[in-house]
Structure 1
Amino acid sequence: MRQFVKPAITVAEQLALLKRRGIQIQDEARAALFLEAVSFFRLTPYMRPFQVHEDPDHAFQPGTGFGQISRLYDFDHRLRLLVIDAIKRVEVATRAAISNHMGPIHGAHWYLHRRLFKDRYKHKRLLDSIEGTQQKALRDYKREVDRINRRLTRADEAHKEQLRQRRAQESYARHYALSYDDPALMPGWAMLEELTLGDLSHLFKGLAKDHDRKSIGQRLTVPAPLLDSWLHTLSMVRNICAHHARLWNRELGIKPELPKQQNFPWPSYLRRSTPHTRVAVVLAVLHYLMQRVSPHTRWHQHLIELLQDFPEISKQAMGLPDNWCTDAFWQYKDKD
């Protein structure tokens, strides 16, 4: 451990530092605008592939230009947008799959029953979360009604009542808390919409009955253990995208399980015994799931076009072979 002594420096000083480290900057005004919009610190991980390995002064490899770094940043930005678009669709479809199975089988308020969950699942935390959501929605409504009553003193009562009714319909949590008291919490189909993808992943993993998990997985044409693993990984990747963090060459902290069935549609380059810890495996998971949840999607075409637009990007750093898009998997279409 040692004392931190690095000073905060201006954008002009940041440009001077980059030039001392050997980077070529053809348009300093444009580079300055880029640093004003992105920040030196956020750009730092995108500099590393262009720097001399383990150099204490962080020198850049000869011939490195600022434009190469900004293009890599732009590529990663566009990759994240593509990935999070697919994850959002998978997330919505997973909510629907759970709701469409659990509701008709176990009732509208199925999640209130402790017996439907494994012992280790934190059931009380789920109920407390939904109760908290409803209470907050109710507090917000009462605050808005007070504002209506206080500010519209000259308005007729019918107009004020109309406004109050509109506010009551702003969210289902608000509507349920104002309309029902038995059961005290909203039905399962509404509860699922209040969960984060991480919460959703934990809920699916926490279901006690194998039949329920298997049936939900079948709706997405994914074996339950595989879906369990994939949701966990996708929740982590979603957080990376939501926080605008580097994705393109990241080592995955939570690696998804790979399909074991030989007839399962999957890239041949991901069937090798080597570890698959880069974004390539996430792209394969998303392509497979998108064929099920959005069968007319051109998502995989957008992915192929993105990599074609940035031919200089190292595919190996993403876990992809150079000829990745010629693999039969990327022509896969769900037959259901």
Structure 2
Amino acid sequence: MRHFNKLSKSIPDQIALLQECGMVIEDGEQATWALSQISYYRLRAYWLYYEAEPESGNHSFREGTTLEAVLALYEFDRHLRLLLMDALERIEVAARGAWAHQMAMVYGPHGYLNAALYPRTDRFQANLDQLQSEYDRSHDVFVDHYKRTYNNPPLPPVWMAAEFISFGLLSKFFSALGGRADRKAIARKIGFDDRVFQGLMHHLATVRNICAHHSRLWNRRFTVTFPIAQNPANLANTIAPQADRKLYNTLSMLLHTMGTVAPESDLPSRLTCLIEENPTGDFAAMGFPTDWRERPLWADLCTN
């Protein structure tokens, strides 16, 4: 542990520092705009890729590194996040609907609150406390109506809960269910078996948070992973086990899921076009295997 003693730097000083480290900056106005509107620290996540020895503490750039290249990578990542948010929204809505329908049809409007459905009472109570907190914070019209109209049960029916529950908490309620038949019925509507879907929900909740906070995505190493799918065959033959913490497998799972929840969407083709435009040309940094264009879920998209 040591005392933080770095000083604040003005935009001109930031530009000078980057040039001292070897970055080519030909347009001073563009550099000033980028550093003031995006920020030095946010862009650093992208020019780190261009540093010659990023792990050594030497921040010198590889020869020929330009600010334009860094900004192109930043824009690529920004568009990638926007596309993923589109896909994640569709998947999240489908998961909410599948959960609400299963619980309502089998256990009734408030059956999801029955502690007997959840073997771990401590986890159920923690989830229930968080749900109560999310309910208390919500000011949706339907929530306010329930609060004004009913006092028992204190929480609304599952189809209302499905609209305000966070995706992360939804994944916890799903994982906590003791009945595998319920988990299988819910997961099947999204195109997975319950074991894979359970891990995938947790993973996608973290990806959603990354996108929502505008964080770097393109070459991130994820800490939360999901089980490798063994079926259907086209998904199993697309997934790259060696890339279990990389974006490639996440995107492949999204392609499969979109085929189930939004088969008419053009998002898969738009995503493929964007990936092909990766300005670094480094597909391995995202976990893409060399033959990714020939793998089942990508093959048709790459030829169209």
TM-score (norm 1): 0.83
Q: Are positions 1:277 and 2:245 aligned together? A: yes
Residue equivalent to 1:264: 233
Runs of 4+ in 1 over 6 A off after TM superposition: none
Residues 265 and 332 in structure 1, CA contact (< 8 A), matched pair in contact too: no
Percent identity between the aligned chains? 31
* TM-superposed deviation, 1:197: 1.0
Residues 51 and 61 in structure 2, CA contact (< 8 A), matched pair in contact too: yes
Deviations 1:137-176 (A, max 9, x none): 6xx7xxxxxxxxxxxxxxxxxxxxxxxxxxxxx5111000
Deviations 1:189-219 (A, max 9, x none): 1112221111011010001111111111122
For residue 59 of structure 2, give the secondary structure of its aligned residue in structure 1: coil
Q: Are positions 1:325 and 2:298 aligned together? A: no
CA distance in 2, matches of 1:125, 1:279: 31
CA distance in 2, matches of 1:226, 1:136: 32
CA distance in 2, matches of 1:24, 1:271: 37
1:214-225 correspondence runs (5 A): 214-225=184-195
1:201-216 correspondence runs (5 A): 201-216=171-186
Residues 243 and 287 in structure 2, CA contact (< 8 A), matched pair in contact too: no
Residue equivalent to 2:159: 189
Residue equivalent to 1:145: none
Residues 252 and 278 in structure 1, CA contact (< 8 A), matched pair in contact too: yes
The partner residue of 2:269 within 295, 301, 306 is: 301
CA distance in 2, matches of 1:220, 1:275: 23
| Greater mean alpha carbon deviation, residues 128-137 or residues 247-256 | 128-137
CA distance in 2, matches of 1:232, 1:135: 24
1:84 and 1:136, CA in 2 relative to 1: closer, same or farther beyond 3 A? Answer: closer
For residue 7 of structure 2, give the secondary structure of its aligned residue in structure 1: coil
For residue 61 of structure 2, give the secondary structure of its aligned residue in structure 1: coil
Residue equivalent to 1:67: 68
Q: Are positions 1:20 and 2:52 aligned together? A: no
1:135-146 correspondence runs (5 A): 135-136=136-137
Deviations 1:225-264 (A, max 9, x none): 0100100110111111111111111111011111124x43
| Greater mean alpha carbon deviation, residues 106-115 or residues 314-323 | 314-323
CA distance in 1, matches of 2:157, 2:300: 37
Residue equivalent to 1:313: 281
Residue equivalent to 1:119: 120
1:121 and 1:260, CA in 2 relative to 1: closer, same or farther beyond 3 A? Answer: farther
Structure 1 unaligned spans of 5+: 141-169
For residue 94 of structure 1, give the secondary structure of its aligned residue in structure 2: helix
Residue equivalent to 2:79: 78
* TM-superposed deviation, 1:82: 0.9
AA aligned to 2:202 is H
* TM-superposed deviation, 1:11: 0.8
Structure 2 unaligned spans of 5+: none
* TM-superposed deviation, 1:311: 4.7
* TM-superposed deviation, 1:181: 2.4
CA distance in 2, matches of 1:136, 1:48: 39
* TM-superposed deviation, 1:30: 0.8
* TM-superposed deviation, 1:128: 3.4
| Greater mean alpha carbon deviation, residues 304-313 or residues 20-29 | 304-313
Residue equivalent to 1:227: 197
Residues 240 and 249 in structure 2, CA contact (< 8 A), matched pair in contact too: no
AA aligned to 1:72 is L
1:35 and 1:115, CA in 2 relative to 1: closer, same or farther beyond 3 A? Answer: same
AA aligned to 1:19 is Q
CA distance in 2, matches of 1:74, 1:292: 29
Residue equivalent to 1:177: 147
- Count of residue pairs the alignment pairs up: 300
CA distance in 2, matches of 1:176, 1:21: 60
Residue equivalent to 1:156: none
AA aligned to 2:49 is P
Larger radius of gyration, structure 1 or 2? 1
For residue 234 of structure 2, give the secondary structure of its aligned residue in structure 1: coil
CA distance in 1, matches of 2:56, 2:133: 52
| Greater mean alpha carbon deviation, residues 123-132 or residues 243-252 | 123-132
For residue 52 of structure 1, give the secondary structure of its aligned residue in structure 2: strand
Residue equivalent to 1:240: 210
AA aligned to 2:280 is E
1:249 and 1:120, CA in 2 relative to 1: closer, same or farther beyond 3 A? Answer: farther
* TM-superposed deviation, 1:25: 0.5
1:69 and 1:134, CA in 2 relative to 1: closer, same or farther beyond 3 A? Answer: closer
1:214 and 1:228, CA in 2 relative to 1: closer, same or farther beyond 3 A? Answer: same
The partner residue of 1:253 within 206, 223, 248 is: 223
